[in-house]
Amino acid sequence: MSRDLLEATKLSHSFDYPLYGNVDLALQGGQSVAIVGRSGSGKSTLLHTLSSFLKPNSGTVTLLGKDIYALTEEDLEQLRRDEIGIIFQAHYLFKGMTGRENIEIATLLSGEDIDTTLLEELEIEDVIDQKIGDLSGGQQQRVSIARVLSKKPKIIFADEPTGNLDKQTAMLVIAVLLNYIKKADAALFLVTHDDEVASRCDLHYCLEGQTLSIVT
């Protein structure tokens, strides 16, 4: 039986205004969850809290059995490097390097090899040796996804990974992500504005009015 890879308990956060309160969430290996909601509702903030980059006002986040906000900075950095994969809407790729070189940076740190099958699934095998600056936005996004998946994380946090993609490519990307977590017994936490993308996930929530509620 798969264990919980991610567990959030009574999670609350606010800035000058409240965002969400008393969020309880659990994700097992092989499971995916999508969060939808209006701009400014707190979706990305929730992702940053769950992925260890923003300490919540209250509540706990447990990743792989570890209370992440009780860890030392050294242990937290190791967890991020070895177990967590983050896909940003902004690609954060090195423009003067090729796609392959960008991926190699991640795989060198994790000790993994580049997965050529993954490049084929993302349909970037023919452009992987081109400079990032010569690739389209959609190709760059798929390189950034290959970079994350090639390090073989156990938990993936994806912030609008299909937001700048056409519908066909968006469906390709979500299929690759879901296929990865099933094979790797990993988990996916996805923030999106696309209800069709969200519907492909095992769990579909809406964050609105400080409340996280299941979408039926």
> Which has the higher per-residue pLDDT, 11 or 113?
11
Amino acid at the residue 157: F
Q: What percent of the chain has pLDDT over 90?
A: 79
> Per-residue pLDDT averaged across 27-54, rounded?
94
What domains appear along the chain, each with residue ranges and CATH number? Answer: 32-41+74-214 (3.40.50.300)
Each residue's pLDDT tens digit, 96-126: 999 999 999 888 876 778 889 999 999 999 9
As a whole number of Å, the end-to-end CA separation of the chain is 25
User: Residue 88's pLDDT is what?
Assistant: 87
pLDDT at 1 over 70: no
Output the pLDDT for position 98.
Answer: 97
Predicted local confidence at residue 99, as pLDDT: 96
Q: What are phi and psi of 35, to 5 degrees?
A: -115, 125
Q: What is the mean pLDDT of the chain?
A: 92
Question: What average pLDDT does the segment 10-16 reach?
Answer: 92
Give the model's pLDDT for residue 216: 60
Number of residues that this document lists for the chain: 216
Cα–Cα–Cα angle for 204, 207, 211, nearest 5°? Answer: 115
Predicted confidence (pLDDT) per residue in 59-96, tens digit = 999 999 999 999 999 999 999 989 999 998 888 899 99
pLDDT of 143 over the 60 cut = yes
Q: What is the DSSP string of 6-73?
A: EEEEEEEEESSSEEEEEEEEEEETT-EEEEE--TTSSHHHHHHHHTTSS--SEEEEEETTEEGGGS-H
pLDDT category at 187 given cuts 50, 70, 90 is very high
